[in-house]
Structure formats: C-alpha cells, structure tokens
C-alpha cells in the first residue's frame, strides 16, 4: 500500500457512514437509495457521503449525466481501501 491509499483509508474509517458505504459498494454497484437502505441511513445523508467518497477518489458515478438513479461504484483505490477495512 502506498501512503496516499493509507491516508484515504484513515479518512474513510473516521466516519462510520463512509466506512459502511465503502463496504456496501465493495459488494456491488448501487444507486444512492439502495445504498442508504443497505447501510441503514436516510437518503438525504447518502448524498453527502457519496460526494465525500468521490472527492477523495474512492467512489465514482458511472452515469453522471442522469438526474435520477445514478449508479456508483468503487474506484481501484476504493477497492484497496475496502480490502484494508475487511
């Protein structure tokens, strides 16, 4: 693991919402509603979590042009972070 991945790992695990989101996205790609249901938080909170994960390079939206039902998945860095969490 490189230093950047370890820094991002520290950032992700400092929030239980970010940590649970990474673990859930590691299982499969999801839309925000499904992700919120999977980790047990309200949908209005998941938007902030996903934005944070995108900004640090852990998650990405694969259909950004859509207004609804955007699909999110982990990046390669996100997969490395998920391995560290498990």
For the segment 27-42, the average pLDDT, to the nearest whole number, is 95
Give the pLDDT confidence score for residue 86 in this predicted structure: 83
Per-residue tokens: 23: 């673990």
Q: Is 8 exposed, middle or buried (0-12, 13-18, 19+ CB in 10 A)?
A: buried
Q: Is the pTM of this model over 0.85?
A: yes
Residue 60's domain spans which residues? 3-85
Give the pLDDT confidence score for residue 56 in this predicted structure: 96
CA distance 24 to 86: 11
Residue spans of beta strands (DSSP E) within the chain: 59-61, 72-74
Give the pLDDT confidence score for residue 1 in this predicted structure: 72
Question: Rounded to 10 degrees, what is the CA torsion of 48, 55, 24, 29?
Answer: 110
* CATH code assigned at 42: 1.10.10.10
| DSSP structure class, residue 30 | B
Which pLDDT band holds residue 2 (cuts at 50, 70, 90)? confident
Our count of domains for the chain comes to: 1
For the segment 37-59, the average pLDDT, to the nearest whole number, is 95
């Amino acid at each position: 693991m490189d230093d950047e991945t370890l820094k991002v790992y520290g950032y992700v695990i400092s929030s239980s919402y970010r940590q649970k989101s990474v673990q859930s996205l590691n299982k499969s790609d999801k839309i925000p509603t499904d992700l919120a249901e999977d980790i047990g938080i309200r949908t209005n909170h998941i938007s902030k979590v996903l934005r944070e994960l995108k900004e640090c390079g852990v998650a990405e939206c694969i259909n950004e042009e859509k207004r609804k039902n955007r699909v999110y998945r982990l990046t390669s860095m996100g997969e490395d972070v998920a391995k560290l969490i498990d």
